[in-house]
Amino acid sequence: MRASGQLAVIALLGAAGLGGWYAYQSSGQPAAQQGAPAGARGGRGGPTGPATVEVDTVKTGRIVEVRESVGTVRAFESITVTARVAGVIDKIGFDEGQQVKAGDMLVQLDAAERQADIDQAIAEASRAVALKNEIAIKLERAQALNRTGAGTSAQVEDLTAQLKSLEGSIASAQAQRKAAEARLEDLTIRAPFNGRVGTRSVSLGAYIAPGTRITSLDDLSKIRLDFAVPENLLGRLQPGQTVNAISAAYKNRIFKGKVSTIDPRVEQTTRTARLTAEFDNADEALKPGMFLSVALEVSTKDDAVVVPEEAIVSEGLRHIIYPVKDNKVERRVIVIGQRQGGKVEVVEGLKAGETIVVLGVQRVRPGAEVNARPLGSGAQDPQSTPAANRQQPSRSTLHAPNAIGTAQAAEAK
């Protein structure tokens, strides 16, 4: 009985399976879909229309290749004011931080001893001049007497020798006077050029030795900026190139200068070339020792082909762009150059005047037809709206490698 019951169950299961298979074959689809509407068969709907994209015309613009560096400010002229001779400070002619002019007295040392030397030299010269005048009168009389035979030639020669000796004494006294006046001038320390003095290191009445620091003097009407660039730029460097610099102290201000000097030597350790740029600094905003971020304009192209970054798709190391002609898309490999401010320079593969896909590059295929709209026209296609583009950034924005250096691009109007 047990075996016959099992056989009966197996027979029933086999019959049920055979019936289901027969029903599936007769309808051509599973029974669960037999009642579905005819329009729902096949899963997705029929073929869609051309993709809507936004296009723009390729333009030319100004491309400036910029190399970035950092630099240190130094004054256009700068010295440490010191004394040439020892002495006691008698006068201080400046205030700390004061603007002074060339020739202004900064410090006066005690000059009493030097003035006495000058007075002595003047007295010696005056005495020698008086003696010379006296001997000159005697010489004239001796010569007159000698001509009449009342005098002697020996007397004339003696007076002539005395006169020459006194002339030598006068010259010596005058030289001593000039030396004393020069030593007196050493006691007066003057500004050698226009500039601003720093803090002073001495006080009134202090005794200072030669070389003692008194203060500093800096000409800040202009400043020099020292910075370095890689040696591979040497062939493209020249005096007069524009340098833009910014400081953390003045975040919204750009200082503009020119390259003045290119060091003829390359630093062996870093393999960099040192450059010096000069900046006007009428308001003295830049101080010696400040740290600046530098952007050197290496080269400029006024007719470079530029396109929006959104139009470029990166595939590995290649860059792809999609030109549109007669509403059909072409796939083209290009070579890019500099990029800045949402613009990219196209070196090869594209010409000005061509039409390219800017928004919607993710949905186009080579040879496919598109519904082209001008860039910024506000296409109604859901996938080409700004919101959709923000949700799906272009591959060029996410994956494109940065070009060497940076650039500034401005579309030609």
Mean pLDDT of all residues in 251-274: 93
Per residue in 158-200, pLDDT tens? 778 887 887 888 888 788 777 777 777 888 999 999 999 999 9
Taking only Cα atoms into account, the Rg of the chain, rounded to an integer number of angstroms, comes to 48
Q: What three-state secondary structure class fits 76?
A: strand
Q: How far is CA 250 from CA 19, 92, 124, 288, 290, in A?
A: 88, 35, 65, 15, 12
Can you tell me the distance from the alpha carbon of 21 to that of 5, in angstroms, rounded to the nearest whole number?
25
Decide if pLDDT at 138 tops 70: yes
Can you tell me the distance from the alpha carbon of 151 to that of 271, in angstroms, rounded to the nearest whole number?
91
* Lowest-pLDDT range of 18-27, 374-383, 397-406: 397-406
Per residue in 62-98, pLDDT tens? 888 889 999 999 999 999 999 988 999 999 999 999 9
Q: To the nearest 10°, the Cα dihedral for 67, 70, 76, 81? A: -160
Q: Which residues pair with 324 in a beta bridge?
A: 329
